[in-house]
Structure 1
Amino acid sequence: MATFGIIPTFILISINSFAQTKNDSIPLTINEQNTIFVKAVFNDYDTLNLNFDTGTTEMVLLNDVLKNKLKSSPKLYNTFYNLKIGSTIYNTKVYDAELSGHGTDGRFGWDLFKGKIVELNYDKGLMIIHKKLPENTVKDQKFTKFKMEFFKDLFLVESKIAQDGIVNSDLFLFDTGYQRTAMLGNDLLMDGKFPVEKMKVLKTAIMKGAQGNEIPVITSNLQLLQIGEYELKDVPIQRLTANKPLEGRNIHILGNEILKRFNMFLDFQNNAIYLKPNQLFNDKYIDK
């Protein structure tokens, strides 16, 4: 079953990081389930594989890891601990969950990098933390710029979906922790009079959320998903039939089976995203 990378109740940002003197290049791994992760050292002693999940905040460790793997017993929710990623040490609270991305011990959110620039380069297998945006690189390599829209400490990007001549434009949660292509919310589809009944059903399944909760979904064929000028055709998307992913807002979700197809800069200084297709862009979809 796929792992749904969104924490049901979101935590307000409360993370500070130590000063960084240079760009930090960190080996980045992506597995067959579209989980991206890096090695990190928690609380000075424990080396962990952690998913970089832009669909959450702070740090989450699996219950099994908390009980059986750590050399210490951290106090959850209110105490700050050191987390070393690359050569930089960040301060973060710790939360617990039943599930995380395949092959990982937990995950950390985007807000560790507030005020920084995060580059994800899948072609080179690197996650690079920049002090400032390398504007020449972005310009010379012809990255496309998108605006970040924030809701409850999470960021979204505008994208389009199209089926049988009907086009809807909405904000999508930018979620590297969600392992599939895209999750479309039924309420938004109904509001946009999107022809759901004309989408070919590929399969139905039960997914599990971060706390082990069951989420019924339908996988259907979407004729077109467009992010800026980039078009992806015949995408096997998931339709959420219950349990709104964000309390208080209907949204769609872009998952890492789509996002991995782009090298990117996440500019948390100016709230912008820069995307450029990479060597994975034309890979087959897992759900096909």
Structure 2
Amino acid sequence: MRSVYFYMLTLLLASLGISGASVFGQTVIPFTLSDHNNMLVKAVVNDTDSLHLMFQVAMKDASLSPQRTRPAKTLSFHQGVSAGNTVQIAGLKKNDITFFDNELSGPGSDGKIGTGLFAGKVFMIDYDNSQFVVYDQLPVLEGYQSIPVHIRGEALFVDVTSFIGDSSLQHSFFLQSGYSGGLLYDDTFSAEQHLDNKLLVKSEKTLKNSAGASVTTKQASLGQMKIGETSLQNMSVGFFVGNLKTQPFSFFGADLLKRFNWIFDADRKTAYIRPSKYIDAAPFELK
């Protein structure tokens, strides 16, 4: 009897366009992928303020941008910090969220929201369907490969192999969904590997860090890179040049993140990845 009921329920849900995830205790949160590869969600803060926030895998808390266009009247800051706030995004409501003031965010957003939204839970970044899915336990992982995640403070790092000249160089990269490009090498790696001489430089770009300071990078093309067992060709990479080098960590940016669907376990020590519909997309060119 149960199997017949389950079958009929599945057919009904499919006809209504509802996934089983939303019925059996999992929460689905839609996001919009912007032209800059940023994931934007609609949030209600303290049951009052409607904000568009950029999801930032590189942080746990939240922040407001000085360039925001929507008011945040319920957020009261003391020395740049507003604690004890409530944030609701789709069917997920979290209490005791801390906001920091005046941190730059992606275009079209009023600020950022981090992984604290999913604290203690397994979560998926499903680029195929432009949604996050929050789970109480790991879902079926068919088609996914596992990769280790290294935690440093609030930052999540993964290992990537870069094929440069005759060398295959494994290096640790900070998952950074706020950086629209591909790989961004840190200053030490860039200097030690003489990237300016070994990579075909396509252009120079000026970017701003979260404090608003300008930094100059060179953009190049990397013939091959590898994460887990998956190889990617001709991805865009950047590195700092000149006296303004201030990059202590290498970034695994949003243009690479979107090429996979990601599942992070509850303790954030393992990620499971599977190629998304963007796996063969043209490399994003920073402007």
> What interval of TM-score do these two structures reach, taking the shorter chain for normalisation?
0.7 to 0.9
Deviation at residue 270 of structure 1 after TM alignment: 5.5
Written as runs of structure 1 = structure 2, the 5 A alignment for 1:239-254 is 239-241=239-241, 242-245=244-247, 250-254=248-252
Partner of 1:282: 280
In structure 2, distance between residues paired with 1:195 and 1:40? 41
Native 8 Å contact 1:188 1:251 kept in 2: no
The structure whose residues are more often helix, as a share, is: 2
Partner of 2:134: 129
Could you say which structure has the larger radius of gyration?
Answer: 2
Partner of 1:159: 160
Deviation at residue 60 of structure 1 after TM alignment: 0.7
Partner of 2:31: 28
**CA deviation string 1:115-168 (max 9, x = no partner):** 11111111112111111111xx21x2x101011101122110111111121111
Partner of 1:234: 234
Instruction: Structure 2: state its 5+ residue gaps.
Output: 1-23
Partner of 2:177: 176
Does residue 44 in structure 1 map to residue 53 in structure 2? no
Instruction: Give the partner amino acid of 1:161.
Output: S
Does residue 70 in structure 1 map to residue 75 in structure 2? no
- The Cα RMSD (Å) is 2.0
Written as runs of structure 1 = structure 2, the 5 A alignment for 1:92-241 is 92-134=97-139, 137-138=140-141, 140=142, 142-191=143-192, 193=193, 196-241=196-241
Deviation at residue 61 of structure 1 after TM alignment: 0.8
Native 8 Å contact 2:76 2:82 kept in 1: no
In structure 2, distance between residues paired with 1:218 and 1:70? 37
Native 8 Å contact 1:164 1:195 kept in 2: no
Deviation at residue 84 of structure 1 after TM alignment: 1.0
Native 8 Å contact 1:204 1:219 kept in 2: yes
SS at match of 1:49: strand
Q: Identity across aligned pairs (percent)?
A: 22
Instruction: Structure 1: state its 5+ residue gaps.
Output: 1-20
Deviation at residue 225 of structure 1 after TM alignment: 1.6
In structure 1, distance between residues paired with 2:275 and 2:60? 26
In structure 1, distance between residues paired with 2:246 and 2:170? 19
Where relative contact order (Cα < 8 A, 6+ residues apart) is larger, the structure is 1
In structure 1, distance between residues paired with 2:280 and 2:67? 37
In structure 2, distance between residues paired with 1:43 and 1:166? 52
Moved more, 41-50 or 255-264: 41-50
In structure 2, distance between residues paired with 1:162 and 1:194? 13
**CA deviation string 1:201-223 (max 9, x = no partner):** 11112101122111111111111
Instruction: Give the partner amino acid of 1:87.
Output: G
Does residue 86 in structure 1 map to residue 90 in structure 2? yes
SS at match of 2:68: helix
What is the TM-score when the length of structure 2 is the normalising length? Answer: 0.84
Partner of 2:21: none
In structure 2, distance between residues paired with 1:71 and 1:215? 33
Does residue 60 in structure 1 map to residue 63 in structure 2? yes
**CA deviation string 1:222-272 (max 9, x = no partner):** 111211111111112110234444xxxx43110010110101101133521
In structure 2, distance between residues paired with 1:42 and 1:226? 40
In structure 2, distance between residues paired with 1:125 and 1:79? 29
Moved more, 157-166 or 91-100: 91-100
In structure 1, distance between residues paired with 2:281 and 2:168? 25
